[in-house]
Amino acid sequence: MLFSSKPLQDATPLALQNLFQGLQLLVHTITDHPSSTDGDIEVTRELLSHVYEGGTGDLLPKSIEQEYGAEWSSHDTQDSLRIQIISEATVRCMQCGSEELRRWALRHQMKASIRIFVRASHIHLTCFPQNYWPSSIGPSTALCRAVVTRRLMGFLQSSLALLRLDMSQHRQQALRSDSSVIYHLIMTRTLAELQQLPSSASVNDCRNLVVQLLLELLEVDNEGQNGRINSLLCHWYSDDHDWKVSLGTGLRVIVSPPF
């Protein structure tokens, strides 16, 4: 059905995300439990590529507006919004299932995604889907900003939960691995996107979560990484008003005793 020349009708953001997320979880199942059919993984990757490139048809503009609480503008396009909505689906894989599945979503699922779209790339930290999470938020419209902000919030909340789970269970090897990936994604993608977004309550919440994550990362034994985090926090405290406010909020959350 997915490869049919006739696109799906009345597609909504949630339906597209559920489809894409299901295919990505299928990649996890196939790679963890290989079958006798060698072509299964390649077919699944082709399906992912087909969905990513818009092969299932356009989304209904009204359904996007309802899902994200913002209006479609003349600057919005199906392609730019589909890419952002699918990137949120990738992040959603970090929010469901077992601990092992969520950790796989952070590390290995994103690695598999690179092989689909960047076949010739050689990336040292092969864990981030360059094409699933674009470096630019696209047209700076209310609708696009709403999609990006919600995806950022989901990624930051999921990363913080996974990091704290590693710490609470004293899993040093998992902690070092997860923290390296999370730090890389914050520095190479999250901060760049927040820089492109105008201040709002949701953006401020994202900044607060970034600060909490960076403060938690300082607990990891990684001298080089911790030095860079300290330099960044000092810069925010001295020279950036918005981040200085978030730094204060993040510190209060970290030092406040749990209820």
pLDDT at 242: 86
**79-95 confidence digits (pLDDT tens):** 999 999 998 998 988 88
Three-class SS of the chain: CCCCCCCCCCECHHHHHHHHHHHHHHHHHHHHCCCCCCCHHHHHHHHHHHHHCCCCCCECHHHHHHHHCCCCCCCCCHHHHHHHHHHHHHHHCCCCCCHHHHHHHHHHHHHHHHHHHCCCCCCCCCCCCCCCCCCCCCCCCHHHHHHHHHHHHHHHHHHHHHHHHHHHCCCHHHHHHHHHHHHHHHHHHHHHHHHHCCCCHHHHHHHHHHHHHHHHHCCCCCHHHHHHHHHHHHHHHHHCHHHHHHHHHHHHHHHCCCC
Dump pLDDT digits (tens) for 21-74: 898 888 878 877 666 455 677 888 888 888 988 888 899 999 999 999 999 999
Task: Encode pLDDT of 115-157 as tens digits.
Answer: 333 333 333 333 334 457 776 787 889 999 999 999 999 999 9
The mean per-residue pLDDT over the stretch 171-186 comes to 87
> Does 18 have pLDDT greater than 50?
yes
Predicted confidence (pLDDT) at residue 8 exceeds the cutoff of 90: no
Q: Which residue has the higher pLDDT, 181 or 257?
A: 181
